[in-house]
Every structure is written in structure tokens, then in C-alpha cells.
Structure 1
Amino acid sequence: MKRIILFILFFLWTSQTAHAEFDLQMAIDQAKPGEVVHIPAGRYQGNFTVNKSIKLLGKKGVELYSQNTEPALKIDHTSNVSIENLMISAKNKGIVVNEAEKLKLRAIEIKDVQVGIYIQRSKHIQIFENKVVGNQLHYAEKGNGVAVFKSEDIAIEHNAIDFVQDGIYVEEVRQINVRENEVTNSRYGTHFMYSSDVKVLFNSYLHNVTGLMIMMTTDLEIASNTVSNHNDFNSYGLLMYDSQQAKISKNSFRNNRIGVALQKCSVIQIQENRFQMNQTALEGTKVDNDSIINDNQFTGNILTARSDQQGLRLVRNFYDDYRGIDVAGDGFGDVPYVAVSSFGQWMVRQPVYQFFVASPSVMILTSLDQQVNKTEQNLLVDNEPRLISHTKEKAFSINILQFIIGLVICMSGFWLWKRGVLV
């Protein structure tokens, strides 16, 4: 029996140490440009470097792990490289890319690292279908899931990132598409600095400190994302600082301390979004007059909006706490909606007041704000509040269609019964 156990242990050990028979770095060095290096299943320890146009393709069960604080895999000064189907673990950085072009990283699982993927001075990079899991340390002791610096034409799509500092960190990058990723349990889901031509589409940001942090960035499209459950003391669904020319549309901001905050921003359009169950849906500070918030839905929020003296332009939004009527029957209220809140203005100056946000006295004060004319009311007023939300309109149209189909079926059945076809 003891021999059988020893034989099994020996077999398992040898099957997991394929690196003893297969020298990965030698295979990389000997490969000709354009060749595919097939990596047998097993664990490979080292700091591997790719500096030629090849493809590394791992089989199921291939793992690279670094033997020191150097990256497990480095791609340096090359082009037309593809890395697929690997597991990587490292004491510091998993993958480092420096001055590369036309690189594809796909189906790579990176775990137990400080930084998952680190890219600098590169162009035409595709980061698809990867998984990065950090550690349980404090955010200050972690690195980023995917970090991109001084690069151009970057696509980061279909990745899952968890327990890192910033899920996706972008600095000085032009033309980047962040699409259909899921970032959870991190500090910032996605963090942009000094970048331009940015698209953030169909991503899911859940349970981070802040979902999206945008700073000193221009020309953005942020659309169809789910941004939920960012409700710590300093949390935001989306925070934009000193940014210009952005369209924020068709997103869901749900259960955040603040849904969207704009600070020192210009030419921002917030359109057709859903703000649900946030403490404060919108916050604006030093927002220019060319920015507009239109055709959004505000439901279940404690405060709709708060701002400084410049205010925010609200146009044709739906508010579940609007009490006006529609005599003309055009779907818009005849009385303006007043979003200003005295308590909300105080919260801008003293954020600690948020602890009293749902108290009875604050609710009474907010109700009085809707009834009493104030000099600040022109700052947060929607003169054409929408009475029917987009959701209700869609549901209504579907119900009408169902009714017509049902009526046709019933009449057809009755006709067939009269003809004697149905007994």
C-alpha cells in the first residue's frame, strides 16, 4: 500500500513539473518569427522574455510563476506577439509590456500579484478575456489589475478583475476602448488620467470604492454601463474632475452614495441614464453652462441633485417625486420641478452631514423646498419635467402589443368555433 501511495505521489509530481523536460525560454529563443510555441501542461518557474514576433499558446494547466520580484513574463521591443491560455502568478508584476505593437493577450488568468498587466509606450494592444485576481491587502498595498501608460489604440474587453487597487488604470493614453469588463472589490473600477478619445461601454462596476474616476481627460463616451453599490463615506458611482467633452448615456447608477459627480467640468451631456436608490443622484461643482442633464430617470433617490452657485441644467427628466400635473397631455409637467435642496447645499460644504440624510427633519425641509420660492431655485430647476418614465412608456407599448395579439387570437378562436372547426 505504501508503494502505491509513493508511486501516485511521484506520478503527480512529475506531471506537474513539465519544465524539467521543456525549457520554455529556450523554446522562445529558438522559435523563428511567426512561429507558434506550444507549451505543454505544467508549472514553469522563471522570468520569461519575448522579444520577437511569435505566439505563445498554452494548454490547459500551464502556469508561469516568477522566481523573484521580476515579472513572470516580459514582452519587450517587438511586434505581432500573441499570448494565449496561460496562468500566471508573481510576487510583483505578472506581465510587463514595453514598446510593443500589435500585441494580443487573451485567456490569461493572473493571480496572487501586485500588478496584473503593465503596459507602457505601446500601440495597437488587445487585452481580451483575461482574469486578474489580486489579494486581500489594503488598497495602499496593492497594484492595479491592468495599467496602461503613454500608449495608443488600446482595447480592453471581456476581462474580469477583482481585489486590486484600480481595476483598469489609464494614464496618457490616446484612443482606448474599455468594453464589457467586470471590476469588483477594488478602489477605482476604472481610472483615467490625462487621456483622450476614450470609450467606456457595457462594463459592470460593483462594490468598489468608486466605479469610474475620470481626471483631466477629454473626448469621452461612457455608455450602457452598470455602476452599483459604491456607498462608502467617500464613494462615487462616477466622478469626473477637470474633464471636457463627454457623453454619459444609457447607464444604470444604482445604490451609490453619489451617482454622478462633476467637478470643474465642461461640455458634459448626461442623457438617458437611470439613477436609482442613490443617496444623491447628481452633484455638480463648477460645471459650465454648456453641460446638460436631459431625458434621465430619477427614482428612489434621497436627493436628486445638489450643486454650487453655478448650478446644473436639468431638461425633460423624469422624477418620481414630482407632484405636478399635465393639463396639455403632452407628457410633460405644467409646473417646473425644483430639485434644489437646502440640506443638499449644506452637504456640499460639509459632507459629514450625509449621516442625517434620511432623518425626519431633513425630509420635511426637502418638502418645504418644493413649495417656497428661493433665490437658489433657478440653479436646479427642470422647466419641462417628464411625467412618464422611459421604462413605463416601453412597458405600456409592450402591453398594447400583447393586448392586440391576444384579441386577434381570441377572435380567431371564436370564428373557428362558429364555423364548427373547434368543438
Structure 2
Amino acid sequence: MKNKIYVGILLCLFFLFLHSTHSFAEQNLQSLINQAKPGEVVHLEGKVYKGPIIITEPITLIGTKKTIIQAAGNKPVVSLQGKGIHLRGVKVQQLTSRKKVPALSVTGSNHSVKDLHIKTTSLGINLNNVHLSKLSNITIKGNKKENGINVLNSSKNEIKHSLVSHVLDGIYIENSNSNTFTQNTIQNSRYGFHLMFSNNLVLYRNISKENYIGAMIMETYKSTIKGNSFIYNAQNVNSYGLLLFDTAETKVIKNDFSNNRIGIKLQSSQHNTITNNSAKTNFIGIQFDDASFNRVSTNTFLSNVNDVQAIASKKNNINKNYWDSSWKVDAKNQGTSIIPYKADPFFLSLTKETPEYQIFFQSPGMSLLQKMLKSPDDLVLSDDFPLMHTDEESRNMDSHSTRGVLLISIAMILISTLSIQIWRKTK
């Protein structure tokens, strides 16, 4: 009997020892962080660490390829708070079943986060009141239930060279001014970029593909969208490469809008500039809905089912674009056609009232009705000087022309030299 009692006591002590050791292991990383002095570099081993952890001092935390920090509760796996914290080379796994719990939570300023691999069942990264910070080379994979990166009430940050996939919105920005997003790839999500109530943003050389919408820009002012690829966003009847909604004074320059349902849509937007973009093989190249005073110039619309549609849109400056479906007659040899390109809003007005009429798109009967029931001239979108050639064709022609001039010049020099030699011999 006594032996059984001793065995029981030993077993209890053994399990208590295991529990205390396990608890120590879980607290070990936080203890290591707490012991670090400001400016110190903490190197992590290539093993699994249990979170959550909170960093409040300006230290540098560096992992290896096998370093994993994971948690499954209702708190962020990793939290950065304060100023000047650097996080490098860590895999972060958020295993919670709760909503809106980020793998990485950041507040404060002057942080840098680099070379992170995040796998999350909830939110990826949440930036709230973050300023003057940089995030780069980050991979985020979700389960399409929460956003990849939230940028809230934050300014003057840069997010670059990152890959975000299988999330709700790739990068969601709200009330955040003067942020820059460079060379990120967002795919297989709802919205690639979702920008709201923010000004002076820069989207440069990003790729947003195979999403519901490539980029939704809403109530955003004085921003620049340049050199991006918004491609293969055609998963739904309402899919767009780029949607500008209630947006003003924004520049859209040298972007690729290809293989979307609608390449570019301007809705309730004014005073925007759309130049030197390429919209190819979309169902609709560009669509205007209650959009006015926008400048659309030197863009290429090629191989779209319908190059342009417009409704309730007046006083837009549409000039010198290449329209695949325009009549091209260059009587003055100026590179532009003397026949204006016009888009009547009749069909779009009809389908807006009765969406079922979309099945009659480009049918002979609808074309006849459109000719019989023409819209007022002030509602018809018109490019008075459509381009004869695409930019690429023009460059090739210029190149051929330059070569031709060069060859002619060389020939003239040779002929002149030969003539002089012959004249001298005859003398």
C-alpha cells in the first residue's frame, strides 16, 4: 500500500516538473526579450518558440530559416510597440480560430520588419498609428477570411517586395496618408489593394492578379498609381483591374490593365489623370459612370470586347488615345485620325435600369436601336483625335524611319565620294 502511495507521489511530482518546464519554455522567449537592453541584438535559434510575445524596447530580433514563433490565443503572436524595433528572418504562425487577431501587430514609429514568412488563420499584419516604418520581403498566406495587411491611421511608411495571397484584402489602407507601396504581389484574394479616405499614396510597380478586384481606390486624393500590373482580375461580373470611386486629383500612369472584366472604371470621380496606360483583352477597356473633368490621354485600348462605355459622364478630356475599334484616316499625316471616336451611353443606360438586357450586348437589334435613339451630344464620350498607332508601333516606325534616314545619308555620302573620284580620274 505504501509503495503505491510513493509511486503516486512520484508521478505527481514528475507531472508538476514537466508542467513547470513546459511553462518555462513558453516564457523563455519573452524573458529573453525582457532581458535585452536597448540597441542589443537578440539571435534566435532554429526552433519553435511559443507566443505571444511583446517587444517594447528598441532591440533587434533576428531568426534563422527554421525559427518559428506561433500562438493560438486571442492575442497577436508578435507585438511591436514603441520606437526603433527591428525584426528579421522569422516565421510567424497565427493558429487562432478567432477573427481579426493579427500574426503581427505594430504600433509606434521607426520600425523595420524584413524577411518574414507569415501563415495565418486570421489577420496577417495590423499597422495602427505607425509612422516612418519599413516592411519588406514579407510573405503572407491566409485562408481568405481576413486581410493580409491593414494600414490604419498611419503615415510615411513603406511596404515593398512582399507577396500576399489567399486573404480577404491584400493591403487595406484607411485614414493613412503619404504611404508608399512598391513591387508587391497580391493574388488570389478579394481586393488586391483597398484604399479608403487616404491622400498622397504611391502605388509603384506592384502586381495585383487573379483577384476579385485589382485595386479599389475610394475617396482618395492626390495619389499616384504608376507602373503597376492589374491583370487577370475577372472572377466576377463586377471585377475590375482598377476602380476609382469618388477619387480626385489622382494620377494613373503607365499601368498594364490586361485580361480583366473591366480594365479601368471611373465612378463619381473628378479631376484625375489617366495617361500612357495599356488596356488589352478586357471585356471592357475603360468605363465612365458619373465621372467628369478627368483627362484620359495617350492610352492604348487593344483587343477588348468593348473599348469604352460611358454613362452620365460630362466634360472629360478624352484625347489622342489608341482605340482598336476606331476608324483610322490620317489625312494630314500627323499620327491622328480625322474621324473622332465616339462612345454612346445608350446601352449602358439601358442595362443600368434593366441588367437583364446585357444579354443583347452587340446584338444587331441593340445596334439598330442605338442608331435610332441616339443620346444627346453632351453625353457622348468623344476622342476627337484618336491615335493611328499604338506607342509600340510608333516607336518601331520611328526606329525604321531613323534607320531609313541613316541609310539614305550613308548612300548619299558614298555616291558623292564615288562621283568625286570618277571626276578626278577623268581630269
TM range (shorter): 0.7 to 0.9
The CA deviation at 1:104 is 0.7
Aligned to 1:10: none
In 2, Cα distance between equivalents of 1:74 and 1:161: 20
SS for the counterpart of 1:321 is coil
The CA deviation at 1:197 is 0.8
1:243-278 deviation per Cα after TM superposition (whole angstroms, max 9, x unaligned):
111011111111211111112111111111111111
CA separation of 1:360/1:256 partners in 2, compared to 1, >3 Å: closer, same or farther? farther
Aligned to 1:118: 126
In 2, Cα distance between equivalents of 1:166 and 1:373: 41
In 2, Cα distance between equivalents of 1:152 and 1:208: 26
The CA deviation at 1:202 is 0.5
Whether 2:338 is the aligned partner of 1:339: answer no
In 2, Cα distance between equivalents of 1:284 and 1:350: 18
In 2, Cα distance between equivalents of 1:309 and 1:294: 20
Aligned to 1:319: 323
The CA deviation at 1:160 is 0.3
Q: Which amino acid aligns with 2:238?
A: N
The CA deviation at 1:171 is 0.6
Whether 2:292 is the aligned partner of 1:288: answer yes
Whether 2:55 is the aligned partner of 1:50: answer yes
1:289-341 deviation per Cα after TM superposition (whole angstroms, max 9, x unaligned):
2x111111111112222222333431111111112311110111111111225
1:41-96 deviation per Cα after TM superposition (whole angstroms, max 9, x unaligned):
001112011000001110111010014121110112x1111111110111242001
SS for the counterpart of 2:126 is strand
In 1, Cα distance between equivalents of 2:130 and 2:362: 49
In 2, Cα distance between equivalents of 1:126 and 1:248: 24
Aligned to 1:72: 77
TM-score by length of 2: 0.83
| 1:381-396 matches, cutoff 5 A | 381-396=382-397
Ranges in structure 1 where 5+ consecutive residues have no aligned partner = 1-16, 411-423
Number of residue pairs matched by the alignment? 382
The CA deviation at 1:401 is 6.3
State, as a whole percentage, how many aligned pairs show the same letter: 27
Ranges in structure 2 where 5+ consecutive residues have no aligned partner = 1-21, 412-427
In 2, Cα distance between equivalents of 1:233 and 1:275: 18
2:167–2:189 Cα contact (<8 Å) kept:
yes
User: Which of residues 166, 169, 174 is equivalent to 1:166?
Assistant: 169
The CA deviation at 1:118 is 0.3
Aligned to 2:198: 195
Aligned to 2:109: 101
2:346–2:375 Cα contact (<8 Å) kept:
no
CA separation of 1:216/1:341 partners in 2, compared to 1, >3 Å: closer, same or farther? closer
CA separation of 1:107/1:239 partners in 2, compared to 1, >3 Å: closer, same or farther? same
Aligned to 1:9: none
In 2, Cα distance between equivalents of 1:143 and 1:267: 33
CA separation of 1:256/1:69 partners in 2, compared to 1, >3 Å: closer, same or farther? same
2:117–2:138 Cα contact (<8 Å) kept:
yes
In 2, Cα distance between equivalents of 1:407 and 1:336: 36
1:200-252 deviation per Cα after TM superposition (whole angstroms, max 9, x unaligned):
11011111000101111111101111111122112111111111110111111
1:306–1:348 Cα contact (<8 Å) kept:
no
1:309–1:379 Cα contact (<8 Å) kept:
no
SS for the counterpart of 1:25 is helix
CA separation of 1:72/1:392 partners in 2, compared to 1, >3 Å: closer, same or farther? same
Q: Which amino acid aligns with 2:184?
A: N
- Structure showing greater radius of gyration is 2
1:344-399 deviation per Cα after TM superposition (whole angstroms, max 9, x unaligned):
3323444454444365655x559x75x99753476211111110110111233445
Q: Which amino acid aligns with 2:380?
A: L
- Indicate the larger mover: 197-206 or 401-410: 401-410
- Indicate the larger mover: 372-381 or 166-175: 372-381
Of Structure 1 and Structure 2, the greater strand share is in 1
Aligned to 2:184: 181
